[in-house]
Amino acid sequence: MRRLHRLRQIQALDPERDHQQIVHLCSCYEFPFDFTRALEFALFRTFAVPRIAVLLDRTGEFVRRAQKRYDDTDLIISTLLECGYDSQRGRVALDRMNALHGHFRIDNADFLYVLSTFVFEPIRWIDRFGWRTLCPQERLGLFFFWREVGRRMGIQDLPADGDTFERYNLEYERTHFRPTEAAHRVGTATRDMFASWFPRPLRPLVRPVMHALMDEPLLTAFGFPPPSPLLRQLVNAGLQARARVLRWLPPRRRPYLRTQMWRPTYPRGYRLEHLGPSLRERPA
């Protein structure tokens, strides 16, 4: 199958040394749709943590400018995936992210958890809905990539291996996820922003479909109604059917680059160093 040619290319790479190239091939050629959806849900999961939810709720960004907040985050993360953290654009994106985080007191444990979602949510999503599962080089590549990003963010106590990091991820969610009013407000604003991408008559259907992709601890933390078992089955079946079709399509010849998408938030383009709220828009 021609689609397996790039997989063999990835398998020939060393995850510790070549992880920037592995992540680029994986996110821009092999699984662009899956990476986007997985990272959206990765960020969504972080809102279920009370400390993170309260901080984000206090800024008011998600209620007033949810689409801009999404675009800013997406552009920074996508720049890292597409260009690597060592590139000129990657360094600017990291500097901007660090500058934005520097205005807030964020616990190191929370930083570690958010970083862990960027490693494991794409793996979990692609295991469920990808046209193939990730190979060991891709799984390790994601770990080494985000661990190095974490080091450049100044995050402490970075795990030495992926298994340790995944145990941290699962234990953190088990002990920290709980419902709060802040989580409900931020989660609702973000969910409704996703729904706004669809024609108005479809939006009441989009919300329960999103709920069907969430697990019970996440639904509880946001105070969202649980979906019916039938809807869960239908959503899962639809995404798995998409994967079966993709297996027979020709491989992508050009990278899918989210940083080059037109966005109504930035109709005249954007500069990485200007992303995020301005100084006067930040809470005191």
Nearest CA to 221 out of 67, 54, 98, 100 is that of: 54
Nearest CA to 117 out of 191, 184, 170 is that of: 170
Please tell me the distance from the alpha carbon of residue 215 to that of residue 201, in angstroms, as a whole number.
Answer: 26
58 burial type by CB count under 10 A (0-12 exposed, 13-18 middle, 19+ buried): exposed
Nearest CA to 71 out of 43, 47, 99 is that of: 43
Q: What is the DSSP string of 72-126?
A: HHHHHHHHHHHH-TTSHHHHHHHHHHHHHHTTS---HHHHHHHHHHHHHHHHHHH
Which parts of the chain register pLDDT below 70?
Answer: 1-2, 278-284
Sign of CA dihedral 248, 249, 250, 251: negative
- The pLDDT tens digits for 81-94 are 999 999 999 999 99
pLDDT of residue 62: 74
Angstrom CA distances, 79 to 63, 138, 200, stand at 25, 19, 31
Ramachandran angles phi, psi of 268, nearest 5°: -105, 15
pLDDT of residue 283: 43
pLDDT of residue 278: 62
Please tell me the distance from the alpha carbon of residue 122 to that of residue 143, in angstroms, as a whole number.
Answer: 11
Angstrom CA distances, 283 to 58, 228, 278, stand at 7, 40, 10
Please tell me the distance from the alpha carbon of residue 206 to that of residue 199, in angstroms, as a whole number.
Answer: 10
Classified as helix, coil or strand, 136 is helix
HSE of 197, CA atoms in CB hemisphere, 13 A = 12
